[in-house]
Amino acid sequence: MSLAHRFAVENDNIEADMVEASEFPHLVQKYAVMAVPKTVVNGRGVVEGAMPESTYAAAIAKAAMEVAASG
């Protein structure tokens, strides 16, 4: 299970979906996916690459704050 899904199981405010890039080329193009894993936060914030859980949590929180600040 991906870290995003583990976070979603633990927190009702988090939703996570996983897609196969080869099956959803429109999403690959929309989110400019060049490598995986790539996590998109609220449609705009991005976290790229595999990382330890604590680093991932901090990166997700930072991306979410940046999205919220940008309106």
Share of the chain above pLDDT 70, in %: 99
Domain containing 30 — which CATH number?
3.40.30.10
Instruction: Enter the tokens of residue 32.
Output: 């400019």
pLDDT single digits (tens) 15-34: 999 999 999 999 999 999 99
* Domains held by the chain: number: 1
Say if CB 39 and CB 21 are below 8 A apart: no
Domain residues for 64? 3-70
pTM: 0.79
* Tokens 């060049």 sit on residue: 34
* Tokens 């600040």 sit on residue: 69
The three-state secondary structure class of 22 is: helix
